[in-house]
Amino acid sequence: MAAAAAAAAVTAGAIFASLPSRGVVRSLQKTPSSRKSFGRLVSTALLTAHGSQLAFFSGCQLSHALSDPAASKTRRRFATAAGPRAMGRSDTKSIEQLVELVKQKNSEHPVVVYSKTWCPYCMDVKRLLSKLHTNMLVVELDELVEEDELQEALYDLTGQRTIPNVFIGGKHIGGCDATVALHMKGKLVPLLAEAGAKE
């Protein structure tokens, strides 16, 4: 056990030493395409470390911690019943209002995926649900003015800070691991059908 832990520590040190410095990270994340590349870099590093007892560390957690919201492109408002529209920071809703708006969106759509465009785990979930011909609403948080506030609202609602954040039939499912686990157990498709999410 001690030897395995020591090996994991050595592997972890090597992997994270190979990742870009914070200054380089900010440069990498100037555009959506470069943020996506960085997300894949982190994901690859963590997958490499999977056999060294580092599977508990989420690639999206690390990528989000190093992300630079200010580097994002022009953003839109979180979609309301009237549809998305341009909005300034001064119009940002309170966390309480956003919690209610999230609940409303979750009740209006059979499946809602709160995602970020550059996150590889989010891409995996969206790809899986698309292959299952799922009628879903995808909310790309990094394209919205209220990105930080929405993540706080989702945390208040679910206790989950990481992305993706998946809701089916108005019920919180979890992230990528939870969604894939349901599919592996043969429970995801029936759940989607029950929610009326099958196209």
Alpha carbon distance, N-terminus to C-terminus of the chain: 49
Entry field: residues in the chain: 199
- The SS3 of residue 68 is coil
All residue ranges of the chain with pLDDT < 50 are: 1-30, 32, 38, 41-73, 79-92
Rounded (5°) CA angle 77-81-87? 20
pLDDT at 94: 87
Q: Which residues pair with 198 in a beta bridge?
A: 134
Task: Please report the beta strands in the chain, taking only residues with DSSP state E, as ranges in sequence order.
Answer: 111-115, 137-140, 165-168, 171-174
- The H or E element containing residue 191 is helix 188-194
pLDDT at 194: 97
Rounded (5°) CA angle 113-161-41? 80
Cβ distance 39 to 115 under 8 Å? no
pLDDT at 75: 62
pLDDT at 33: 53
What are the structural domains of the chain?
A: 2-70 (no CATH), 95-194 (3.40.30.10)
Q: For the chain, how big is the Rg over CA atoms in Å?
A: 18
Cβ distance 181 to 154 under 8 Å? no
Cα–Cα nearest to 20, from 56, 45, 47: 45
